[in-house]
Amino acid sequence: MTSIAENIAAIRDRMTAAARAAGRNPQEILLCGASKMNDAQACRDAVAAGIDCLGENRVQEMTRKLEQHAYDGVSLHFIGVLQKNKVRQVVGRVDLIQSVDSLPLLDEIEKHAAALGIVQKVLLEVNVAGESSKSGFAPEAVKQTVETILARPQRSISVRGLMSIPPAAAQKGANLPYFTKMHDLFVDIKPLLMDNKEELYLSMGMSGDFEDAIAAGSTMIRVGTAIFGARSYGAPS
Ligand SMILES: *Cc1c(COP(=O)(O)O)cnc(C)c1O
């Protein structure tokens, strides 16, 4: 079995090759480890190996691993389905909430961020393939949604870009049209969000399809299995 450090090095090589092939600068693409169901030590190993950020899916698991100092020294993101009643446990504890899938959720985040006196950075999740099993804004609604948000007096959230989870790729190239659609949307809303000089993100691409995502313009890939190995669901954690 290869180590987490070796896996990350191999992914970096593949990211570089994919970026070069697309005429892009490899340094403009972040590697975010999707560390769900992996323990605190696995997270620390990924941090030691130079991962750019770690993303968690479950509030309870993240809270436990925060107590175990799993993420010390790295940027922490929330990437999973977020229930409104758990927002309090996430706002201010992560640098970026990638999975904002509705305006009511955004409002709840805003409320808690305002109470803390912080600005919470978020991405809007887009249901790019219109899958009924997934949440997220419809692609057609993204630009209007951004305009709606920007027209509000809310100042405790900052929309930093878009995130998407297309269908599990059956074969190489299968998700390229979705990634291209996401990039088009990103280009569309970028001018609206550029006013403050902070970075904007297009988060897309996972273990099975990140090269296609990079070809289409992803600036952040979220990789789990290819870093940490297969997740053993049902095992005690
Ligand atoms: C688990 C997960 C990933 C990574 O998936 P892999 O296929 O294991 O690389 C990426 N994004 C989200 C939102 C996830 O839940």
**For the domain that residue 219 is a member of, what is the CATH number?**
3.20.20.10
CB of 223 within 6 A of ligand 1: the answer is yes
Q: Which tens digits make up the pLDDT trace of 102-147?
A: 999 999 999 999 999 999 999 999 999 999 999 999 999 999 999 9
Q: Which domain holds residue 55?
A: 4-228
- Any domain includes 233: no
Q: Which of 72, 22, 20 is nearest to 46 (CA)?
A: 72
Please report the pLDDT score of residue 182 as a whole number.
98
Q: Which residues contact 2 (CB under 8 A, 6 or more apart)?
A: 10
CA pair distance 143, 16, nearest whole angstrom: 31
CB of 97 within 6 A of ligand 1: the answer is no
- Any domain includes 36: yes
Please report the pLDDT score of residue 47 as a whole number.
98
Q: How far is the CA of 75 from the centre of ligand 1 (A)?
A: 17
- Any domain includes 191: yes
- Any domain includes 169: yes
Minimum CA distance residue for ligand 1 atom 2? 34
CA pair distance 63, 15, nearest whole angstrom: 30
Please report the pLDDT score of residue 237 as a whole number.
46
Of 32, 37, 222, 232, the residue with max ligand 1 atoms within 8 A of its CB, to mutate for a pocket test, comes to: 222
Q: Report residues of the chain scoring pLDDT below 50.
A: 236-237
CB of 213 within 6 A of ligand 1: the answer is no
- Any domain includes 24: yes
Q: How many domains does the chain have?
A: 1
- Any domain includes 237: no
Q: Which of 80, 156, 151 is nearest to 112 (CA)?
A: 156
- Any domain includes 223: yes
Task: Count CB neighbours of 186 within 10 A.
Answer: 24
Please report the pLDDT score of residue 194 as a whole number.
83
- Any domain includes 186: yes
Please report the pLDDT score of residue 122 as a whole number.
98
Please report the pLDDT score of residue 12 as a whole number.
98
Cβ(163)–Cβ(127) under 8 Å?
Answer: no
